[in-house]
A and B are shown apart, each in its own frame.
Chain A
Amino acid sequence: MREYDVIIIGGGPAGLAAAVEIYKEGVTDILIIERDIQLGGILQQCIHNGFGLHEFKEELTGPEYAQRFIDQIRELKIPYKLNTTVLDITKDKEIHIINSIDGYKMIKGKTIVLAMGCRERTSGAISLPGTRPAGVITAGTAQYYLNMKGYLVGKKVFILGSGDIGLIMARRMTLEGALVLGVAELLPFSGGLTRNIVQCLHDFDIPLYLSHTVVEVKGKDRIEGITLMEVDRNKQPIPGTEQEFECDALLLSVGLIPDNELSENAEIAIHRRTNGPIVNEQMETSVEGIFACGNVLHVHDLVDFVSAESRRAGRGVVRYLKGEKSHCIGIETMNGSGVSYIVPQRMHVDEIEGKYAEVFLRSTDVYHDVTLVVKLDGKEVKRFKKPHLAPAEMEHLKIDKELINVASGTLSVEVELKEAN
């Protein structure tokens, strides 16, 4: 069985950034496995702009952002297999792959980088009421049809869920001549970035129905319409608020789930809140030598952060191959009140490069003028003032390593509301 130093599963932004970093750090025996016909992952269908402000200090479209990494992969001649599906990964780092040229094959990695990304929640996942006609489709699938294949999935469209892909598709379908009737969001705030609300909905006078949901899908073969209702604070529909819409497509933008079936086969511990592997500061999972980065780990809102995280995973891979490893237990991170999750879940502070330990987190709610309080074993070590927090916007904290340099303990971050004077 051919053994590689590194096998990277997924040729999207996470896999590509990890590959380039690993190569530049001196490890060149790399193989990238990609199931699609091309590298670049989901960025290839995200033709809108707004990518790369952190990474390249300019606004790029998704394909442009991907192209910069693809060009590097080709320049460095890093090998990749396209049209190749990974069937299984074992905890001994054996990988079962299949494609139409090699057939079925087993390969082995001294290390593996999981970079499979995420998938969309579907109508089944949200128990969408009503019939199951054609025309009920996830926003990302509609985006694939339109931007990759040139098919518009509907002419009168309603969108359930205000995630970014839904907002982007509201604009995109409008530009291609569809009538977008509205976007409904179950929560009292949007799940998308403010700039997308403004540029995708306000620009085209598309209404956003906050605290609303679809209570019925109508139609037998093809969707004919939906019923929309307002919901109360417990997300229960309020009688008498029914509104009927005739439509020929219902797009769902109701969340993304890290794609971890393969990780589970390899017996990697999955975090209950992120739905991704539990990782340490090097992005190493609970199985030694298997690393994870990008949306398979936790769903990001900016690809720039995926690239940065994947480079960190890449450096972790190279350190592992060189046999450098911490022997302390490390500290565990824990979400306090108002915080839904923290990544990484474990940190060996002595292993972190540079002056700061970096953690990523999301709030549970929209907050204004609050403080994020970092505590080590219950004792406050650092405060960060935040004028604005929202679940849709990932927060990034840099904590001075000296403040938390202990061999074991629990690091928590919580939201402290401003005290009333």
Chain B
Amino acid sequence: MKEWDVICIVCPRGCRLKVSKDKDEISVTGNQCIRGVAYGVKEVTNPTRVVTSTVKVNHPVHRRMPVVTKGSVPKDRIFDVMKEINKIQLDLPIYVGDIIIENVLNTGVNVVASRTIE
């Protein structure tokens, strides 16, 4: 049996969950509402995160364009996604939502611009 301590972040209460896996059975305790179960299971089976960073911009005043993954990527790919983001250099104008990297590292997620700089 494997056990994990997970702090639930679904609401500000911050329940301390105990998630345990026995063969294929995952159980969650310590949660004070039903949403904690889903969070606990996801955290130990397939934790994902949204990655935000910036990319270089060729402009005398605006030096960086903020970007965000449109959807979450597996937690263990975060640093690989960062490497891809850091390869990019952009010319303006760029508009909020413009795709900067399509399907980054085959995660099925695009990296997009998170503001408009004209």
C-alpha spacing A48/B52, complex, angstroms: 6
Q: Which of A48, A62, A150 touches B56 (beta carbons < 8 Å)?
A: A150
A195 within 8 A of B: yes
Seed contacts A44-B66, A390-B12; 18 additional CB < 8 Å A-B pairs:
A37-B61, A44-B115, A47-B54, A61-B52, A61-B68, A63-B115, A64-B114, A67-B96, A71-B116, A146-B54, A147-B64, A150-B56, A175-B82, A176-B53, A194-B12, A194-B13, A203-B75, A393-B12
C-alpha spacing A8/B104, complex, angstroms: 42
Residues of A within 8 A of B115 (CB): 40, 44, 63-64, 66-67
Output the nearest chain A residue to B9 by Cβ-Cβ distance: A195
A148 within 8 A of B: yes
By the criterion CB–CB under 8 Å, are B79 and A388 in contact?
no
Total B residues in contact with A, Cβ cutoff 8 Å:
26
A319 within 8 A of B: no
A387 within 8 A of B: yes
Q: A64-B68, A64-B96 are in contact. Are A193 and B52 (CB under 8 A)?
A: no
Q: How far is the CB of A75 from chain B (nearest CB, A)?
A: 13
By the criterion CB–CB under 8 Å, are A150 and B53 in contact?
no
A236 within 8 A of B: no
For residues 381 through 421 of chain A, which have their beta carbon under 8 Å from a beta carbon of chain B? Answer: 387-388, 390, 393
Q: Which of A48, A148, A175, A195 touches B64 (beta carbons < 8 Å)?
A: A148
A142 within 8 A of B: no
Residues of A within 8 A of B52 (CB): 47-49, 61
Output the nearest chain A residue to B113 by Cβ-Cβ distance: A63
Residues of B within 8 A of A149 (CB): 63-64
Residues of A within 8 A of B82 (CB): 175-176
Residues of A within 8 A of B75 (CB): 203
A216 within 8 A of B: no
- CB<8 Å pairs between A and B, sample of 17: A47-B52, A49-B50, A60-B114, A62-B66, A63-B114, A64-B68, A64-B96, A64-B115, A150-B64, A175-B78, A176-B53, A176-B82, A194-B7, A194-B12, A198-B7, A387-B13, A390-B12
Q: How far is the CB of A57 from chain B (nearest CB, A)?
A: 16
A197 within 8 A of B: yes
Output the nearest chain B residue to A70 by Cβ-Cβ distance: B116
Query: Residues on A close to B: CB < 8 A?
Result: 37, 40, 44, 47-49, 59-64, 66-67, 70-71, 146-150, 175-176, 193-195, 197-199, 202-203, 387-388, 390, 393
Residues of A within 8 A of B116 (CB): 67, 70-71
By the criterion CB–CB under 8 Å, are B9 and A198 in contact?
yes
Output the nearest chain B residue to A387 by Cβ-Cβ distance: B13
Q: A61-B68, A64-B96, A150-B54 are in contact. Are A203 and B49 (CB under 8 A)?
A: yes
Binary flags per residue of B45-77, CB closer than 8 Å to A gives 1, else 0: 000011111101000010110101000000100
B108 within 8 A of A: no
Residues of A within 8 A of B56 (CB): 150
For residues 18 through 67 of chain B, which have their beta carbon under 8 Å from a beta carbon of chain A? Answer: 32, 49-54, 56, 61, 63-64, 66
Output the nearest chain B residue to A202 by Cβ-Cβ distance: B7
By the criterion CB–CB under 8 Å, are A49 and B12 in contact?
no
Q: How far is the CB of B104 from chain A (nearest CB, A)?
A: 14
By the criterion CB–CB under 8 Å, are A148 and B63 in contact?
yes
Output the nearest chain B residue to A193 by Cβ-Cβ distance: B12
By the criterion CB–CB under 8 Å, are B12 and A388 in contact?
yes
Output the nearest chain B residue to A177 by Cβ-Cβ distance: B82
C-alpha spacing A202/B14, complex, angstroms: 14
Output the nearest chain A residue to B117 by Cβ-Cβ distance: A38
C-alpha spacing A60/B13, complex, angstroms: 22
Residues of B within 8 A of A37 (CB): 61
Q: How far is the CB of A73 from chain B (nearest CB, A)?
A: 12
Output the nearest chain A residue to B13 by Cβ-Cβ distance: A388
Output the nearest chain A residue to B5 by Cβ-Cβ distance: A202
Residues of B within 8 A of A388 (CB): 12-14
Q: A61-B66, A194-B12 are in contact. Are A47 and B96 (CB under 8 A)?
A: no
Residues of A within 8 A of B64 (CB): 147-150
Q: A37-B61, A195-B9 are in contact. Are A59 and B53 (CB under 8 A)?
A: no
